[in-house]
Amino acid sequence: MHTAIARFLQYLAVERNASPYTIKSYREDLSTFAEYLGRARGGPPPEPAGITARHLRGYVTALHEAGYARSSVARHLAAIRSFFRFGMREGWAKTNPAKPLRTPRKNRVLPHFLSTDEVFRLLEAPPEDEPLGLRDRAILETMYSAGLRVGELVQLNDEDVDFAGGVVRVRGKGRRERLAPLGSHALKAIRRWEQARTTFFPPADKTAAGPLFVNRFGRRLTTRSVARMLEKYLKQTGLDSRTSPHSLRHSFATHLLDRGADIRSVQELLGHKSLVTTQIYTHLSTAALREAYERAHPRAR
């Protein structure tokens, strides 16, 4: 089982050119499945050819009983399906035992977002008279201006920013690249940060592609560092503690739709592969309109 998993992960890396994050997710999900099978039989897990739909139903039940969210169970099943599709291609699996299993329907949860006034309060929180304050303001401005995922933000290099064109090259999910527009406020903030960085935080590795955002040691920022930075400014401003780096992306999409942007354009700006993923933001806009209607219309209730 473990040998087959290793071969599958190698296939993802070499032939599918999957991102390190995707490979890490598949490795964790398949390892969890193998551990379950081993515990169930009181020894090593069976070879993949011996795994049946009955094993998988037991596994799905165990995940539900352990408190996994429906979305997490669906992700585990998707990993197992892909694993056995690879097995059928390689010849060590005759069928895909995960195929007949129904994927749990995901709970539809509206994403958390900030109002425009709240976003502006957050963007103005970092001090402009400190180098790290300039960096933090540039980070927040860039995330909100371009609607970036935090993982996309920390991967940005200096060469990705086109000041003349007002765009930034973004490496999204599935290694898909896109050009995202940057507003004048974000471009100005990045310029000021780069000037401060040259003086106070020279890059730790001068041979590598220069990361746009670095820590005080000149090394590329991590997603966790950005999350901690945001938590600090949320406390300072008194904004909702549920706000995460991804909330700025949600706010970006919601504010665009509220101001008349068409959903296809927002899909492109967000880098969504499917329009269905983008449509969640239309529910946010509709909910806001409904709330305003019920507050104002004398016959609404």
Residues with catalytic function: 149, 173, 246, 249, 272, 281
**Cα gap 12→155, rounded to integer Å:** 21
Q: What phi and psi values does residue 177 have, to the nearest 5 degrees?
A: -105, 150
Q: Which residues contact 1 (CB under 8 A, 6 or more apart)?
A: 34, 37, 44, 45, 46, 47, 48
DSSP letters spanning 194-256: HHHHHHH---S-TTSPPBSSB-TTSPBP-HHHHHHHHHHHHHHHT--TT--HHHHHHHHHHHH
Whether 227 and 244 have beta carbons less than 8 Å apart is answered as yes
**Cα gap 25→23, rounded to integer Å:** 5
Q: What does DSSP assign to residue 170?
A: E
